[in-house]
């Protein structure tokens, strides 16, 4: 790195002796806010026995497209070879995919950094490409949520299969689900690894569903945008759905929650939840 000078300033390579001064610069709220990201994301200092030994981040990528955040982790060379980078990165990855519910996490690994590629492999990252990032060749990797613990399927017993197909079939189809299985008493729709079943089982012990009784109250499904929530809500009545809490739409669940609550003829409720973003038409 080259020493740079201006009429008033000197820019020189960072050294260990600069630690306290750098921390002081970025510790204030006006500066540290630039190191934060969406809720639960940002930059971390890695400590061991009270000593700072590295830094890590999980934040929106400046190099890769889309909303998927990027993970990075650096451990001081004096602490290398002890599995600490893997341990720290795994904690951040679990936080992102598990706690925050992120759909995926990116990682950019320098082409010449074999050690970091091994760490990424141990964490389950998959290589999906390469390119020049931060001025150097990098491998592009992605980690996806594990299957363990995720919903396999949901089964609803309904009194009228034809009515259930009319309402659920339309709504799920609009949200990207596709018919998966069919038999005389039921039908299912699938999205990814999860499927939803509606069945008019001969073992039904009642003729109707009551969502305020113990058992299923409602299903909540993601919708990509607020505009799509509005559109689905407007068209739902033609497919067997009626609005709930219409006088408080679209914030019946709170001011920060943009959603529609619908009920079909059998009394099943669905909640359509918009992803974060500006109001429709904004």
- Asked if residue 197 has pLDDT above 50, the reply is yes
Provide the pLDDT for residue 280. Answer: 41
- Asked if residue 282 has pLDDT above 60, the reply is no
- Asked if residue 32 has pLDDT above 80, the reply is no
d(CA 271, CA 229): 10
- Asked if residue 177 has pLDDT above 80, the reply is yes
Residue of 2, 147, 119 lying closest to 56 (CA atoms): 119
d(CA 101, CA 98): 5
Where does the pLDDT of residue 36 fall: very low under 50, low under 70, confident under 90, or very high at 90 and above? low
The average confidence (pLDDT) of the chain is 90
- Asked if residue 214 has pLDDT above 90, the reply is yes
Q: In what order do the strands lie in the sheet with 259-264?
A: 218-223, 269-274, 259-264, 241-244
Dihedral of the alpha carbons of 96, 97, 102, 106, in degrees to the nearest 10: 80
Q: C-alpha angle with apex 229: 226 to 233, nearest 5 degrees?
A: 145
d(CA 71, CA 2): 29
d(CA 96, CA 80): 24
Provide the pLDDT for residue 70. Answer: 94
Q: What are phi and psi of 271, to 5 degrees?
A: -115, 125
Rounded to an integer, the average pLDDT of 48-56 is 86
The Cβ of residue 269 has, within 10 Å, a number of other Cβ atoms equal to 18
Provide the pLDDT for residue 279. Answer: 44
CATH class of segment(s) 39-143:
alpha beta
Question: Which range among 40-54, 106-120, 122-136, 210-224 shows the weakest confidence by mean pLDDT?
Answer: 40-54
User: Does domain 153-274 fall into CATH 3.10.450.30?
Assistant: no
CA atoms within 13 A on the CB side of 43: 12
Radius of gyration, CA atoms only, the chain = 25
- Asked if residue 65 has pLDDT above 90, the reply is no
Residue ranges of the domains in the chain?
39-143, 153-274
Please indicate whether residue 24 or residue 209 has the higher confidence score (pLDDT): 209
Domains 39-143 and 153-274 share a fold: no
Write out the H or E segment, with its range, that includes residue 259: strand 259-264
Provide the pLDDT for residue 77. Answer: 86
Provide the pLDDT for residue 16. Answer: 80
Residue of 138, 175, 141, 152 lying closest to 275 (CA atoms): 175
- Asked if residue 281 has pLDDT above 50, the reply is no
Provide the pLDDT for residue 6. Answer: 81
Place of tokens 């019946």: 252
d(CA 202, CA 159): 10
């Amino acid at each position: 790195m080259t020493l740079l000078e201006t009429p008033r300033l000197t820019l020189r390579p960072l050294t260990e002796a600069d630690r306290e001064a750098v921390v002081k610069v970025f510790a204030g709220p006006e500066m540290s806010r630039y190191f934060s990201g969406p809720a639960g994301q940002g930059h971390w200092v890695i400590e061991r026995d009270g000593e700072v030994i590295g830094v890590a981040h999980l934040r929106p990528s400046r190099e890769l497209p889309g909303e998927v955040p990027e993970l990075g982790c650096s451990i001081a060379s004096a602490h290398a070879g002890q599995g600490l980078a893997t341990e720290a990165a795994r904690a951040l990855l679990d936080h992102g995919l598990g706690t925050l519910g992120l759909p995926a996490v990116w990682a950019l690994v320098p082409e010449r950094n074999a050690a970091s590629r091994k760490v990424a492999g141990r964490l389950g990252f998959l290589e999906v490409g390469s390119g020049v990032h931060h001025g150097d060749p990098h491998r592009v990797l992605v980690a996806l949520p594990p299957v363990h613990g995720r919903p396999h399927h949901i089964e609803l017993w309904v009194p009228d299969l034809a009515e259930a197909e009319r309402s659920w079939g339309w709504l799920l189809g609009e949200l990207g689900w596709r018919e998966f299985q069919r038999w005389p008493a039921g039908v299912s729709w699938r999205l990814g690894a999860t499927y939803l079943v509606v069945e008019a089982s001969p073992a039904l012990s009642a003729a109707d569903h009551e969502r305020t009784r113990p058992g299923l109250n409602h299903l909540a499904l993601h919708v990509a945008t607020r505009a799509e929530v509005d559109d689905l809500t407007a068209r739902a009545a033609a497919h067997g759905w009626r609005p709930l809490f219409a006088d408080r739409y679209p914030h019946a669940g709170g001011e920060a929650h943009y959603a529609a609550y619908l009920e079909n003829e059998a009394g099943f409720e669905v909640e359509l939840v918009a992803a974060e973003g500006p109001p429709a038409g904004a």
